[in-house]
């Protein structure tokens, strides 16, 4: 299995630190507002990566965080006239609900920044003892010139970064790229005691402290959006390695942007869409399927048309599952070789830096071939059972074959479907068509096939 390591800039064969165990950390959201499509894209990308590692037999410890103290949170809480803590307690459950709707597996460990203040102070004290910090009027800073490898992740050189700066907003800083580790308290802001005085942590130190607490000084995979590569992940590396003297992370993985009208989707541009707004028009599983159609490192050009196409593609998957589950004939054709070939192609795609489009192509070939066997009734019941088992294995990674929102047919609709079946048996085609039209008005579309009538909500 190969994955693209942002640190080396190339695909590398995956060798975790411990043979069968993987430590994985994902940078989560700052919880000042509801999650948008960009958050969902990152969550799905690393959910699939995690699931595939489990599918391959690895024991994965997956840690993700919520940043629940931050400049943006302070501003938003002030606007809402509530405390930062109250804001976090309002938004975090919304993320959990929205991610759950996307089929995201729950993290093994969820962390909140405010639960790790002691660990952050410990890190800063160690950096101070190692000669990497200095103090000015507004806080304690990391001196990037004391870490020669600063820039190795984003491939930027410190001299070039200096040359691109016209004027620093804080003239007390030694270097423009120096970043704050501990911010001194301001009136009305959250604060904690520390050896340097009351204050709160800087953004970058939070993730270093949380990942170190739960995964150690050196772990396997650190994930996040490509927009976090610099400066956030770059600063994480600098402070973590300056503290421990060890390599911080072996493999750095970054998912691509979502773009709208060729611009990165962002709140500052006003072109973002919250997950819950999208869910009002489309099933969350459609959103998950949309993300899987593009390789996780590539950008996605978002549009309603793309969602419509994804809804149609997912409908085809779910229609296949209903046909397969209802199939009752017992043909003579074996499917063992076919299923082995499909799973081989699925693995080849996923082993190549998690190429979900290749994996999906294999799945759609499976659907096409098995649908053909259902049509001519050549599929055996043993073949049906084997196909269902394969689908279960593949879906443990993709999470799209089994509908997450089942349509509940009320008694009236069930009775109408039964009445129509009886009308068809009696060749009362007029009544059968009347019932079809009536169900269509209720948003239920029927599809007659050799193995019976299947329905779907439209």
Task: Kindly give the confidence (pLDDT) of every residue in the chain, 458 residues in length, as a single tens digit, with 9 standing for 90 and above.
Answer: 999 999 999 999 999 999 899 999 999 999 999 999 999 999 999 999 999 999 999 999 999 999 999 999 999 999 999 999 999 999 999 999 999 999 999 999 999 999 999 999 999 999 999 999 999 999 999 999 999 999 999 998 877 765 544 455 788 999 999 999 999 999 999 999 999 999 999 999 999 999 999 999 999 999 999 999 999 999 999 999 999 999 999 999 999 999 887 677 766 666 778 999 999 999 999 999 999 999 999 999 998 899 999 999 999 999 999 999 999 999 988 899 999 999 999 999 999 999 999 999 999 999 999 999 999 999 999 999 999 999 999 999 999 999 876 544 556 777 888 888 888 888 898 888 888 888 887 778 887 766 567 676 66
CA proximity to 345, closest of 329, 358, 326, 364? 358
CATH number at residue 14: 3.40.50.620
Same domain, 76 and 14: yes
Angle between helices 37-55 and 284-292 (to 10 degrees): 70
DSSP 227: G
Same domain, 170 and 54: yes
Is 265 inside a domain boundary?
no
Q: Are strands 59-66 and 109-112 parallel, antiparallel or unpaired?
A: parallel
∠ at Cα 251 (399, 229), nearest 5°? Answer: 90
Helices (H) and strands (E) in the chain, counts: 15, 16
> Which domain covers residue 422, as residue numbers?
411-457
DSSP 52: H
Is 267 inside a domain boundary?
no
Is 448 inside a domain boundary?
yes
Rounded Cα distance, 205 and 119, in Å:
9
User: For the chain, how many structural domains are there in total?
Assistant: 3
Same domain, 324 and 436: no
Is 272 inside a domain boundary?
no
Which residue carries 């009236």 as its tokens?
Answer: 412
Is 270 inside a domain boundary?
no
Is 358 inside a domain boundary?
yes
Is 271 inside a domain boundary?
no
DSSP 258: E
Sheet architecture: strand order including 133-136: 133-136, 139-142, 179-184, 199-201
Stated as kind and residue range, the H or E segment containing 244 is helix 234-244
DSSP-derived secondary structure for 129-193: HTT-EEEETTEEEE-GGG-TTTTTTTT--HHHHHHT-S--S-TTSSSTT-EEEEEEP-TTS--B-
Same domain, 243 and 298: no
Q: How far is CA 441 from CA 239, 409, 412, 435, in A?
A: 62, 14, 13, 10
């Amino acid at each position: 299995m190969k994955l693209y390591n942002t640190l080396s800039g190339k695909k590398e064969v995956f060798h975790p630190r411990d043979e069968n165990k993987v430590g994985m950390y994902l940078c989560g959201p700052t919880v000042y507002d509801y999650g948008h499509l960009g958050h969902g894209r990152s969550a799905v990308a690393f959910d699939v990566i995690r699931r595939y590692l489990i599918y391959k037999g690895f024991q994965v410890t997956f840690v993700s965080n919520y940043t629940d103290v931050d400049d943006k949170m302070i501003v938003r809480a002030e606007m809402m006239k509530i405390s930062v803590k109250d804001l976090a307690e309002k938004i975090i459950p919304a993320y959990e609900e929205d991610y759950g709707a996307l089929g995201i597996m729950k993290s093994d460990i969820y962390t909140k920044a405010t639960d790790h203040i002691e660990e952050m102070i410990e890190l800063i004290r160690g950096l101070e003892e190692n000669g990497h910090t200095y103090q000015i009027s507004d806080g304690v800073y990391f001196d990037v010139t004391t870490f020669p490898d600063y820039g190795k992740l984003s491939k930027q050189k410190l001299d070039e970064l200096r040359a691109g700066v016209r004027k620093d907003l804080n003239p007390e800083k030694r270097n423009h790229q120096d970043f704050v580790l501990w911010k001194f308290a301001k009136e009305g802001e959250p604060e904690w005691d520390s050896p340097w005085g009351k204050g709160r942590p800087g953004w970058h130190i939070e993730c270093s402290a949380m990942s170190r607490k739960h995964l150690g000084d050196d772990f396997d995979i650190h994930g996040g959006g490509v927009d976090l590569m610099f400066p956030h992940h770059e600063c994480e590396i600098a402070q973590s390695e300056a503290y421990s003297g060890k390599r911080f992370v072996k493999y750095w993985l970054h998912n691509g942007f979502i773009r709208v009208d060729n611009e990165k989707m962002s709140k500052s541009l006003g072109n973002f869409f919250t997950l819950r707004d999208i869910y009002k028009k489309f099933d969350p599983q459609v959103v998950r399927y949309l993300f899987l159609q593009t390789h996780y490192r590539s950008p996605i050009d978002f549009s309603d048309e793309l969602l419509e196409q994804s809804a149609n593609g997912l409908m085809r998957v779910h229609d296949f599952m209903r046909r397969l589950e209802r199939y009752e004939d017992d043909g003579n054709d074996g499917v063992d070789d076919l299923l082995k070939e499909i799973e081989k192609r699925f693995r080849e795609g996923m082993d190549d830096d998690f190429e979900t489009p290749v994996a999906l192509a294999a799945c759609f070939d499976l659907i096409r071939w098995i649908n053909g066997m259902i049509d001519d009734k050549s599929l055996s019941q043993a073949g049906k059972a084997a196909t269902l088992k394969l689908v279960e294995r593949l879906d443990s990674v993709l999470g799209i074959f089994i509908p997450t929102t089942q349509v509940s047919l009320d008694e009236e609709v069930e009775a109408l479907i039964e009445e129509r079946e009886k009308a068809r048996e009696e060749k009362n085609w007029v009544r059968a068509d009347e019932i079809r039209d009536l169900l269509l008005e209720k948003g239920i579309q029927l599809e007659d096939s050799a193995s019976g009538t299947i329905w779907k909500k439209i």
